[in-house]
Amino acid sequence: MEKEKADIRSLEIHELQEKLEEQGEPGFRSKQIWDWIWRKDISSFAEIRNIPKSLIGTLESKFSFGRPTVVDVQKSSDGTIKCGFELSDGEFIEGVLIPTDSRITACISSQVGCSLSCAFCATGLLKRKRNLFSYEIYDQVFLLNRLSREVYGKPLSNIVYMGMGEPLLNYGQVLRSSRMINSKEGMGMSPTRITVSTAGITKMIDQLANDQPKFNLALSLHAANDEKRNKVMEINRTNDLQGLIKALNNFYSKTRNRITFEYIMLKDFNDSDTDAEELVQIARKVPSKVNLIEYNPVAGLPFAKTDPEKAERFRDYLVKNRIPASLRRSRGKDIDAACGQLAGKK
């Protein structure tokens, strides 16, 4: 049985150079190939224009290469665009392009499905099939950036790892993808424009603190006491708030990056005055800000969104208590592209 070829973008540039030199090719070829496969809009080796045909044949015999295929594009009435991507093995993920007056954000996935089963999330209804490779994560950004230029006439300004999957359960590939997005050999985007969101994996937040990436970190909080958080986020049973607060402070002490607490407002569950006060107490324990998020209903799940007036009162209470807080309105919910709605539907 023929051995499966490795994707060429699984290699670091020095590894690519070593493999080419083993074939008798000069070292500078690796930089030429690297530029084409990471920075240019190609999907096959045959499209590379500045290397010999013999080398193209060598690449085709030794490596695989191909970007995900965009198989579905839906545009919301508010301008949000959801893209379905088919991967080389036939699996399916989704990414979202979110335009506002001041920025254009790409929301990208890190896994096919998710293993955490958060009670309010459509992705949580899926099983985790596999982690994405770093180049599959990068490709979502690359393709959404191309779409942004085509539709809105300007490139992406921000990236959030908030799509399908838990980024910190795909730690190495997420970090490598962010480095390639940042690097001049990739997209050259500042790491301060990137936010990685986690449901809260304490030991991996500590690992982030040690590795000191430059991107921003967000914690999907959604309840400010362990009893309630256990009910909607199973991960909290093994990663409780006390441990998370300690890990987040460790991350801040080593990176100086303020934490964002994400808090989806669920009607009659986490939107009372008591909940607001508990959130104030949590937010005071970590250099942080709070994003309050409008819930987007998911068929079959028993939650509804908080009334707008109550959500505003909740936000005002945080601000009055000197907690930086904003109320984020839902975007793309008419095409199931809003927070918590990505379900990998073909």
pLDDT in tens, 134-170: 999 999 999 999 999 999 999 999 999 999 999 999 9
Q: Higher-confidence residue: 321 or 122? A: 321
Per-residue pLDDT for 337 more than 60? no
Per-residue pLDDT for 1 more than 70? no
Structure tokens that stand for 330 in this block = 């839902």
Please tell me whether residues 189 and 46 are part of one structural domain.
no
Per-residue pLDDT for 187 more than 60? yes
**Residues with Cβ within 8 Å of residue 248, at least 6 apart in sequence:** 205, 217, 219, 259, 286, 288
Structure tokens that stand for 323 in this block = 């907690």
Angle in degrees, 0-180, between the axes of helices 171-182 and 134-152, rounded to the nearest 10: 40
Please tell me whether residues 76 and 59 are part of one structural domain.
no
User: In whole angstroms, what separates CA 92 from the centre of its chain?
Assistant: 15
Give the pLDDT mean for 4-21: 92
- The DSSP output letter for 63 is E
pLDDT digits (tens, 9 = 90+) for 76-131: 888 899 999 999 999 999 999 999 989 999 999 999 999 888 888 877 777 889 99
Place of tokens 């409008």: 294
For residue 59, being part of any structural domain is answered with yes
Please tell me whether residues 59 and 200 are part of one structural domain.
no
CB of 112 within 8 A of CB of 128? yes
Q: Higher-confidence residue: 122 or 62? A: 62
pTM, full prediction: 0.91
* Domain range enclosing 53: 6-64
Place of tokens 């970090």: 175
Per-residue pLDDT for 198 more than 70? yes
- Catalytic positions are 94, 339
CATH number at residue 24: 1.10.150.530
Please tell me whether residues 44 and 95 are part of one structural domain.
no
For residue 295, being part of any structural domain is answered with yes
Between strands 63-64 and 104-107, the pairing is unpaired
Place of tokens 């030794």: 62
For residue 81, being part of any structural domain is answered with yes
Question: For position 345, what pLDDT does the model report?
Answer: 52
CATH number at residue 152: 3.20.20.70
Place of tokens 């927070």: 339
Please tell me whether residues 54 and 190 are part of one structural domain.
no
- Mean pLDDT taken over the chain: 91
